[in-house]
Amino acid sequence: MQRELKLAVESIPEVCKYTSPESQNEIVDIWFELVQRNIVKRVANSSMFCVMADETRNKNNVEDVCVRATCGRQFCFT
């Protein structure tokens, strides 16, 4: 995944800013897809996995959700 990101960043022309909402949404979608692929790959390659979720309200009374997953003996993501 890091190699793919490095190649993508190096291919961006210096004059490009990517500040429009459309560009930013596309970048977020690409990142999501890369992270999702990585998680699926780790889960598929592990003999067991566990997903834990917890929610709390922050000081602004907005719910925050924390999700953690373990694949075998290591964390896949937090």
pLDDT tens, position by position, 24-38: 899 889 888 988 888
16 and 41 fall within a common domain: yes
65 & 40 share domain: no
Per-residue pLDDT at 75 exceeds 70: no
Q: Both 41 and 69 in a single domain? A: no
Rounded CA Rg of the chain = 17
pLDDT in tens, 3-15: 877 887 788 888 8
The predicted structure's pLDDT at residue 51: 78
What share of the chain has pLDDT > 90, as a percent?
A: 6
Question: Do 60 and 35 share a structural domain?
Answer: no
Whether residue 41 sits in one domain with residue 20: yes
Structural domain boundaries enclosing 64: 48-78
How many structural domains are present in the chain? 2
Instruction: Indicate left, alpha or beta for 29 from its phi (over 0: left) and psi (-120 to 50: alpha).
Output: alpha
Residues 2 and 40 in one domain: yes
